[in-house]
Amino acid sequence: MMANYGYRIMRADWAGSSDTEFVADLVITGLDSGPGVIEKLTNKISTSLGYNIRSFSIEGKEGYFEGKVSLIVLNIDQLNLVINSIKSLDGISTVTRVE
């Protein structure tokens, strides 16, 4: 093909891994087990997994809580790792990404 149509062939340069970060917003709901809910979540995200939390808010009602977390991640694989790690914590009901 190169011999007959070399003028039609372009060399492909593939982009390597990008260092571009993006902010992912998560909504976390679960059982409000008292003191330590915030520490448990932030410890898992920041200390254990090493991701930067951009913003964090939480509100409790009638034994349940809803938290909103904005994280800085590099790709969807990292985001899925965080989501699955949070889901595995005791007392967590749902973890959903907000688009």
Beta pairing, strands 64-73 & 22-31:
antiparallel
* Each residue's pLDDT tens digit, 51-91: 999 999 999 888 899 999 999 999 999 999 999 999 999 99
- Find out if CATH 3.30.70.260 is the number for domain 20-98: yes
Interatomic CA distance for residues 17 and 26, integer angstroms: 24
pTM, entire model: 0.76
Contacts of 65 (CB under 8 A, 6+ apart): 29, 30, 31, 32, 37, 58, 59
Residue boundaries of the structural domains of the chain: 20-98
Interatomic CA distance for residues 76 and 19, integer angstroms: 13
